[in-house]
Homo-oligomer: A and B are copies of this chain.
Amino acid sequence: MIAARFENESDHRWSPERIPSVLRGNVNAPMAKSAVLLHESWNALRNDVETALERYVESAPDCPEPLGKAMSYSLMAGGKRLRPILVLLACEACGGDTTAAMPAACAIEMVHTYSLIHDDLPAMDDDDLRRGRPTNHVVHGEATAILAGDALLTLAFEVLARDIKPTRVAAACCADLASAAGRAGMVGGQMADLEAESSEMPTLEQLEQIHRCKTGRLLTSALTLGGRIAQADDDAFNALTTYGQCLGLAFQITDDLLDIAGDVETLGKSTGKDVAQGKLTYPALLGVEESQNRARDLIDEACRSVEIFGDRGRRLDALAHFVLERDH
């Protein structure tokens, strides 16, 4: 399924020391510096997010135990925590208080996790492994996995609506996340992806449309949620939106490139699957070099868009460069 690998992030941790990346030959000095800067704070941010997630998922005396366990199994399964960290960095870039953004960071990770649980179901992608562990339905049973996904999606909106202040911003965040995650966003993208499977090879345009919906909208929502909480003005908001859109597509392209040139051990998953399965990828459509160029252009655009934040946007800049440099 298109973009499945994007969703299927390995639990291997991001670190800029890992070399060579698929694009290492093109890395210039500022990028390497950015990556080091990011590395210094990434683990701290991720730990904060995990602490907050754990508190949310565990604080429900009225939740039946098997349901709580299944929710926690997937929510606390590790991963890069890319989306919640984007919420926090976007809030920071706009001069907001990142502590105030933590409920939104947790909410978007809940939505991301629910989508993984449902996408893995036998009726959907029928995956047995996720981040090197058995998928939710394999461990907890299909019925419980469906309910755990439903409950995580619902909890995301409860957390946003109740814990984001002021309430005006809470309502705007709920509408933003719901729109990004819904029929014309993530769920719609998954549906379009299922349709594409049983149809002719899609064009690059169709491929990008699926990526934009299935993964891009939620990634962009991470940025705009952070901006909303910082009560960003229109210019800042537009900058964040551009950054999110560019980052999402660039992430997908590097994912496709890694499938060709990545190292199995570093990546934590097998490579060459796309070619073997005849999947439509950027390198297949554009060639390796042109794909690298496109990823680089997108990241350049992302970084330019956050220049307006000055020094406060430096971690968003670093993160964008890191997407280009990553080797897993």
Contacts and interface: CB of A to CB of B under 8 A. Distances in A.
Interface stretch (A78-86, A167-175, A279-287, A299-307): A167-175
Interface stretch (A44-52, A157-165, A229-237, A243-251): A157-165
Given A64-B195, A146-B123, A195-B64, A182 B167 contact: no
A215 to B, nearest CB: 15
Contacts of A194: 143-144, 147
Interface stretch (A94-102, A148-156, A253-261): A148-156
Interface in A130-145: 141-144
Interface in A193-215: 194-195, 213
A323 interface: no
A147 B121 CA distance: 11
B182 A151 contact: yes
A71 interface: yes
Contacts of A71: 183
Interface stretch (A6-14, A184-192, A288-296, A313-321): A184-192
Contacts of A124: 143, 146
A29 interface: no
A66 B150 contact: no
Determine how many copies of this chain the complex contains.
Answer: 2
Contacts of A167: 167-168, 170-172
A136 to B, nearest CB: 12
A26 B66 CA distance: 43
A284 to B, nearest CB: 24
Contacts of A195: 64, 66
A143 B124 CA distance: 5
A216 to B, nearest CB: 13
B151 A153 contact: no
A155 B182 contact: yes
A67 interface: yes
B158 A179 contact: yes
A27 interface: no
Contact of A174 (B62, B160, B184): B160
Given A64-B183, A123-B142, A158-B174, 7 more contacts: A118-B150, A143-B194, A149-B150, A154-B182, A164-B171, A167-B171, A168-B171
21 contacts: A60-B183, A60-B184, A62-B184, A63-B184, A64-B195, A66-B191, A67-B187, A118-B147, A123-B143, A123-B146, A150-B150, A151-B183, A153-B154, A154-B182, A154-B187, A157-B175, A158-B178, A161-B161, A170-B171, A171-B174, A174-B174
Among all A-B residue pairs, the 3 with the closest Cβ atoms: A158-B178, A161-B174, A62-B184
